[in-house]
DNA sequence: TGTAGTCG
DNA sequence: GCAGGAGG
DNA sequence: CCTCCTGCAGCGACTACA
């Protein structure tokens, strides 16, 4: 977005980190105020450089002090408070707090007692076994730091893993816990349940009356590489490629409250708690409770808690405090976002290279999932179309053969593309271009009259390659004008078009297609992922082409 | 056993 | 450090 | 309008030290 804004957000993040050290407490009010200010700045729209101190102070979360700092940065390119703190706490010293288990207090203690100012000092102190002699630390602390350093690099605090890596692991762990006889219910929560594209750690919540046994089972699972903490109701472990997984076990009557609490987001929870407080209630991970009597109002299910707070259940992907709570309590209610059950067909099955048997297995599985129509795609030109048409003859569900074509550097689509096919899907591939050229490329491809669907609009690979940079409004305008549908791929390393773009598309009359791009029966589950991703973008059900009847899909594909 | 630090 | 209320 | 004052969510779980 705006470069100035990004810079300010960076500066304030650093300010927050340094304030934690300066205050010696991550919970101090000043630290929290900086955090809020950072969030407030990241939500600013418009030209920040043009805003006066007065205007800035009006923004919730920005007070006189932050406003001054913003103006100072705009005018001089620096923030004196930040410079002062940097001097006091050099970057290499601050870096020490990123070691798991080392917070502000211990880091400062190490500096004052042993003069440790950077990683090398710390390593040297470990060598000499000096740390165990510091008052307040012991052999155990020393050993923990040693272990943390060994893991550093792979598991430093900020590392987030692509959802494609995390989801299968989480599903296996949940399945393993589900199999335990003392487990009543179990669900992964956190950013994974909200379907964010990168995941910091996995939070699993289980309901059981025998927490200790469940915990023992959990930390003993074969995938567990290291146990970071192991208590009666809460444990943390590392699995596979150094992914941290936390398990909380709660009594079954609190399952809904726990799942709500641990699903977040934090900002969503804060708003919910405020709504509870207005009613004289309090909301925590155990229950929604009336404060004066201590009576539980709701706890067992999320749905009940939302209902008591005057809201319908909110799909987890929407719980990011981007207006969902206000919408949920409005008379109009939450928008009706698409759910996987709404889907009637799949327009993205990958037919290339599949035998008749494989095709049959694919469409049979699609039918078993309740789908009633499908399109098979080929990227092998008119020969591919002909082959696929023959192979798919008389198979159930298959209504169309589509040609998937790659878009060239200039947005061109080969002259012969789509010959013999029922429609064309333009698949965007990764080409590094200047934003203006990229925009032209996409708009030109969308404007080609053969193209009915555009897929992988941003050509991104989560955790590998960035989304293409282009002017989003122009491209969305083109989609609307030429009546081309926007695909949302459920392929976990793509999830493309991303939610921000889907949400912007909802402001226009743009249709969406949820796409599994499946070549095998198992891969059809990506329809679920596509719908969760679409929910993050507030994708309305009645904008999704493949929730509609064969007739209306046909009309869209061949206008 | 009480307390402090860290994490969530 | 911010927000909101009280009091001037 | 300004200044001054007060509250800011709140806590649990776990670990290590004394």
Residue A230, nucleotide of least CA–C1' distance: D14
Task: List for chain A the helix, strand, coil content (%; round to 5).
Answer: 50, 15, 35
Q: Give the helix ranges, DSSP H, for A292-353.
A: 302-308, 324-329
Q: Same domain, yes or no, for A384 and A487?
A: yes
Q: What is the CA radius of gyration of chain A?
A: 27
The predicted pLDDT at position A147 comes to 85
The predicted pLDDT at position A397 comes to 97
Q: Is residue A334 part of a domain?
A: no
Q: Same domain, yes or no, for A372 and A235?
A: no
A66 is near strand C: CB distance < 7 Å: yes
- Is A558 a residue whose pLDDT tops 90? no
- Is A268 a residue whose pLDDT tops 80? yes
Q: What angle do CA A67, A69, A72 make, to 5 degrees?
A: 110
Distance CA A189, CA A183 (A): 16
Q: How far in angstroms lies nucleotide C4's C1' from the CA of residue A28?
A: 20
| Domain-terminating residue out of A216, A250, A284 | A250
The domain that holds A291 is classified in CATH as 3.30.210.10
Q: Same domain, yes or no, for A84 and A105?
A: no
Local structure of A545: helix, strand or coil: helix
Q: Average pLDDT in the A3-29 region?
A: 90
- Is A506 a residue whose pLDDT tops 90? yes
User: A145-154, A253-262, A263-272 — which is least confidently predicted?
Assistant: A145-154
Burial class (CB in 10 A: 0-12, 13-18, 19+), A219: middle
Residues pairing with A199 in the sheet: A161
Q: How many domains are there within chain A?
A: 5
Confidence of residue A1 (pLDDT cuts 50, 70, 90): low
Q: Same domain, yes or no, for A96 and A84?
A: no
Q: Average pLDDT in the A24-37 region?
A: 89
Q: Is residue A75 part of a domain?
A: yes
Distance CA A434, CA A42 (A): 25
Q: Is residue A156 part of a domain?
A: no
Confidence of residue A153 (pLDDT cuts 50, 70, 90): low
The predicted pLDDT at position A226 comes to 87
Q: What is the pLDDT of residues A338-348, one digit of tens each?
A: 999 999 999 99
Q: Is residue A177 part of a domain?
A: yes
Protein-proximal nucleotides of chain B (any atom < 7 Å from a CB): 4-8
Q: Same domain, yes or no, for A21 and A134?
A: no
| Domain-terminating residue out of A271, A294, A329 | A329
Distance CA A508, CA A486 (A): 12
Q: Average pLDDT in the A491-509 region?
A: 97
Distance CA A208, CA A381 (A): 56
Footprint of strand B on the protein (CB under 7 A): A 26-27, 100-107, 136, 157, 201, 203, 236, 244, 246
Residue A33, nucleotide of least CA–C1' distance: C1
Beta strands, E only, A101-223: 161-162, 185-188, 198-199, 202-207
The predicted pLDDT at position A530 comes to 98
The domain that holds A542 is classified in CATH as 3.20.20.140
How many residues would you count in chain A? 559
Q: Is residue A351 part of a domain?
A: yes
Q: How far in angstroms lies nucleotide D8's C1' from the CA of residue A167?
A: 37
Q: What is the pLDDT of residues A520-546, one digit of tens each?
A: 999 999 999 999 999 999 999 999 999
| Domain-terminating residue out of A53, A69, A89 | A89
Q: Same domain, yes or no, for A292 and A409?
A: no
Q: Is residue A67 part of a domain?
A: yes
Q: Same domain, yes or no, for A224 and A111?
A: no
The domain that holds A145 is classified in CATH as 1.10.150.20
The predicted pLDDT at position A13 comes to 92
Confidence of residue A45 (pLDDT cuts 50, 70, 90): confident
Q: Is residue A506 part of a domain?
A: yes
Hey, what are A29's tokens?
A: 């009010």
**What range does the domain containing A44 cover?**
3-89
Confidence of residue A174 (pLDDT cuts 50, 70, 90): very high
CB A69 within 8 A of CB A79: yes
Protein-proximal nucleotides of chain D (any atom < 7 Å from a CB): 7-18
Q: Same domain, yes or no, for A532 and A548?
A: yes
Residue A18 CB-half CA count within 13 A: 18
Q: Is residue A158 part of a domain?
A: no
Q: Same domain, yes or no, for A374 and A461?
A: yes
Q: Same domain, yes or no, for A179 and A274?
A: no
The predicted pLDDT at position A401 comes to 96
Q: Average pLDDT in the A63-72 region?
A: 93
- Is A154 a residue whose pLDDT tops 60? no
- Is A390 a residue whose pLDDT tops 70? yes
Q: Which residue has the tokens 């992922």?
A: A529
**Protein residue closest to D10, using CA and C1':** A284
- What integer best gives the mean pLDDT of chain A? 92
Q: Same domain, yes or no, for A397 and A312?
A: no
Q: Average pLDDT in the A127-139 region?
A: 88
The percent of residues above 70 in pLDDT, for chain A, comes to 98
Q: Same domain, yes or no, for A217 and A363?
A: no
């Amino acid at each position: 977005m705006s470069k100035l804004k990004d810079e300010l957000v960076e500066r304030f993040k650093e300010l927050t980190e340094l304030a934690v050290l300066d205050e010696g407490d991550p919970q101090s009010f000043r630290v929290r105020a900086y955090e809020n200010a950072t969030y407030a700045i990241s939500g600013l729209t418009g030209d920040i450089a043009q805003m006066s101190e007065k205007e800035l102070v009006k923004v919730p979360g920005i007070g006189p002090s932050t406003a001054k700092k913003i103006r100072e940065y705009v005018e001089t390119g620096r923030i004196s408070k930040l410079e002062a703190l940097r001097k006091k706490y050099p970057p290499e010293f601050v870096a020490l707090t990123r070691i798991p288990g080392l917070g502000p207090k211990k880091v400062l203690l190490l500096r004052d007692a042993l003069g440790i100012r950077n990683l090398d000092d710390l390593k040297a102190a470990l060598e000499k076994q000096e740390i165990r002699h510091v008052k307040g630390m012991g052999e155990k602390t020393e050993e923990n730091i040693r272990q943390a350093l060994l893991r550093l690099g792979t598991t430093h605090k900020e590392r987030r893993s692509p959802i494609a890596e995390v989801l299968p692991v989480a599903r296996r762990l949940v399945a393993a816990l589900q199999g335990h006889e003392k487990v009543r219910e179990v669900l992964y929560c956190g950013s994974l349940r909200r379907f964010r594209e990168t995941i910091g750690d996995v939070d699993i919540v289980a309901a059981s009356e025998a927490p200790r046994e469940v915990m023992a089972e959990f930390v003993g699972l074969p995938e567990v590489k290291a146990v970071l903490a192991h208590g009666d109701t809460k444990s943390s472990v590392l699995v596979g490629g150094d992914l941290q997984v936390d398990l909380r076990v709660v009594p079954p009557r609190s399952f809904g409250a726990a799942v709500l609490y641990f699903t977040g987001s934090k900002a969503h929870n804060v708003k919910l708690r405020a709504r509870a407080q207005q009613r004289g209630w309090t909301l925590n991970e155990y229950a929604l409770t009336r404060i004066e009597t201590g009576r539980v109002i709701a706890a067992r299910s999320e749905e009940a808690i939302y209902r008591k707070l005057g809201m319908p259940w909110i799909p987890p992907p929407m719980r990011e405090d981007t207006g969902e709570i206000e919408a949920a309590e409005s008379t109009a209610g939450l928008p009706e976002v698409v759910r996987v059950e709404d889907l009637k067909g799949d327009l993205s099955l990958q037919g290339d290279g599949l035998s008749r048997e494989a095709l049959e297995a694919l469409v049979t599985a699609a039918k078993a999932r309740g789908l009633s129509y499908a399109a098979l795609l080929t990227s092998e030109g008119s020969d591919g179309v002909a082959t696929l048409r023959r192979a798919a003859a008389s198979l159930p569900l298959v209504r169309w053969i589509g040609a998937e074509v790659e878009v060239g550097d200039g947005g061109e689509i080969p002259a012969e593309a789509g010959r013999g096919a029922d429609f064309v899907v333009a698949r965007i591939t990764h080409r590094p271009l200047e934003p203006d050229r990229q925009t032209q490329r996409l708009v030109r491809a969308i404007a080609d009259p053969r193209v009915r669907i555009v897929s992988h609009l941003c050509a991104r690979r989560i955790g590998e390659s960035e989304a293409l940079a282009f002017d989003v409004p122009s491209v969305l305008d083109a989609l609307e004008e030429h009546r081309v549908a926007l695909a949302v791929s459920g392929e976990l390393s793509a999830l493309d078009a991303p939610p921000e773009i889907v949400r912007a598309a909802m402001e226009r009359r743009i249709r969406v297609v949820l796409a599994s791009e499946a070549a095998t029966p198992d891969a059809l589950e990506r329809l679920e992922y596509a719908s969760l991703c679409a929910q993050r973008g507030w994708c309305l059900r009645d904008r999704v082409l493949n929730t509609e009847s064969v007739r209306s899909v046909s009309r869209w594909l061949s206008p």
